[in-house]
Structure 1
């Protein structure tokens, strides 16, 4: 494929410029071999990208999602086998399909839910150093809020004065 001389990399192009040079850019990105690690654009040559990395290699500093991906094609539509635990599958059933629970079973279920909620709450324990930092941050935030309130008050005062001067 002949290389087209371009003054800018693909990453620097604005959307309008991309629309204007669509045919040239289409030939560049039709069979991508490289991807830009900053803006995720792809091209068949490194020269067109500002931070190129090969598609076969993972990008440094970024984790690649290892989840299975289903690609839908016109002729074949593969489906993923659900790998959900049994508890999730049971919780996804509709309420109407479950049999009615007796009063004792409902009370036991509610007690179990309360216990699970209490266990799910993490006990937040701060060290002395963390407590000091949080206190300092809270103090700083309050100071910023006071300054913002003062600025709003001054702005409203100046606005009121300007309106009064214009109405004379």
Structure 2
């Protein structure tokens, strides 16, 4: 025995199903907005507390990172710097400045770089260059904008069309 389903019900189900990708991108945009806000807060609070100094690249360190199909070599920099009190500290960077910008060249041993360090805990430092400090946040903002455009713009357009009709 077959039940008769109204065609109006089927079209509503299909219309709602077609909204799923837009809703997914809208949720991703919301999550990216939270991450972007935390990253901005982190950078600005770091700038308010940190001191700026010059460091010297003393060594290139090779870190082996496991990936799906083998190992990847990741270059890290061992940087020595002097704080305001005249004490020397070592800082090992998380990357070699080419992680977010493939066109950047990694600094050579002996090259001097700007970095930020916290005066109360001088062993905590960050590279001050654009590629290391601001570029990751800018890339997060670009992905946030992209996902918001793919998520919210179509949903708002559909909502306005339905409201108008």
For the aligned pair, the TM-score class normalised by the smaller chain equals under 0.3
TM-score (norm 1): 0.21
Higher relative contact order (CA 8 A, sep 6+): 2
TM-score (norm 2): 0.22
> Which is higher, the Rg of structure 1 or of structure 2?
1
Higher strand share: 2
Higher helix share: 1
